[in-house]
Amino acid sequence: MRRLGLGISLALTGALAMVGCDDGEAGDPDTGVTMDSGVVGDGGGDEDTGVAGDTGVIDSGGGTGMCGPTMGDCNVGDASSCGSGMACVLSGSTASGWEAVCIMAGVIEDGASCDPTMQGQCQEGSQCSSTCPGEPGICTKICCANTDCAPGEFCGLISGAEAGFCRSATACDPIAQTGCPGTCQGCYPASGGNLSCFEAGEGTEGSACMTLNACAPGMGCVGSPGACRRFCDRTATEPCDAGFMCSGLEGFDDVGVCVPME
């Protein structure tokens, strides 16, 4: 999958924005997913605008950025901001990060299969994204807020873009790391009390990070500056190793992260 700085591509492999701790300490890093950063293509043309690899961000949606008129050539929240037969999509190929760009619209409907290495395959309002690099993609709805998505879905914002893709909340387990279908995925808590599967990073315990899914499965990026910390069960008698405490995450009753005791 391509990372930020590649062509026009957008893979649902984006980065998750960090989820805050109950004490307010959790970062809100990059949106490229604050957990992933790149997009892989949306359909066929010379520029890869699709997303590749679900890098969704873990934000709850809303905001301006790509959903406003100043972040690129168009507004992903306004279908009329590109000309007839065109579509406004997210591109992570620019030196400054994410931009909204106009490309030719495709004919593939939202939810149908597509090739994440190509651009311009999906109908206006959707972009091709894949679960893991090298896997087939699905035309996925672009969103600016949770209200843009269907019931049971939330808007997974891409870190740095303030726009993202509609994601399905899942019954995965961030502690046991079960319930995710993709071989490259980990289960991460998203804002709004949602859990979802995203392409996992490789960050180890205590390593620096900027996005939630920059960390290996079983850990999330928290604090400022961000550091990878293990998820924990707040109902357990001894949820963390000695010297650590299980700090709650916003929107979750039982899931927390093991942070060093002061």
220 and 129: one domain? no
Query: Domain total for the chain?
Result: 2
Sign of the torsion angle spanned by Cα atoms 177, 181, 186, 191: negative
The residue among 194, 191, 145, 202 whose CA lies nearest residue 21 is 191
In angstroms, rounded to a whole number, what is the distance separating the alpha carbons of residues 89 and 82?
10
Asked whether residue 10 falls in the same domain as residue 125, the answer is yes
Do residues 60 and 112 both lie within one domain? yes
Say if residue 177 is in the same domain as residue 210: no
Can you give the pLDDT at residue 70?
A: 52
What CATH number should be reported for the domain holding residue 206?
2.10.80
Contact 167, 196 (CB under 8 A): yes
Tell whether 57 and 71 lie within a shared domain: yes
Sign, CA dihedral 243-247-253-255, equals negative
Nearest residue to 13 via CA among 169, 151, 182, 171? 182
Question: Is residue 207 domain-shared with residue 196, that is, in the same domain?
Answer: no
Structural domain of 233? 201-260
For residue 188, which of 223, 158, 166, 219 has the smallest C-alpha distance? 219
Whether residues 219 and 188 fall in one domain: no
* One domain for residues 65 and 84: yes
Note whether 237 and 136 are same-domain residues: no
Each residue's pLDDT expressed in tens, for the chain with a length of 262 residues: 222 222 222 333 445 555 555 543 433 323 222 222 222 223 333 334 444 443 333 333 333 456 765 567 888 888 788 888 999 998 875 555 678 889 999 999 999 999 988 888 999 999 998 878 888 889 999 998 888 999 888 888 777 677 888 988 888 999 999 998 878 899 998 867 888 888 899 999 999 998 878 999 999 998 888 999 999 999 999 999 999 999 998 889 899 999 998 7
pLDDT at 96: 58
Q: Are residues 112 and 234 in the same domain?
A: no
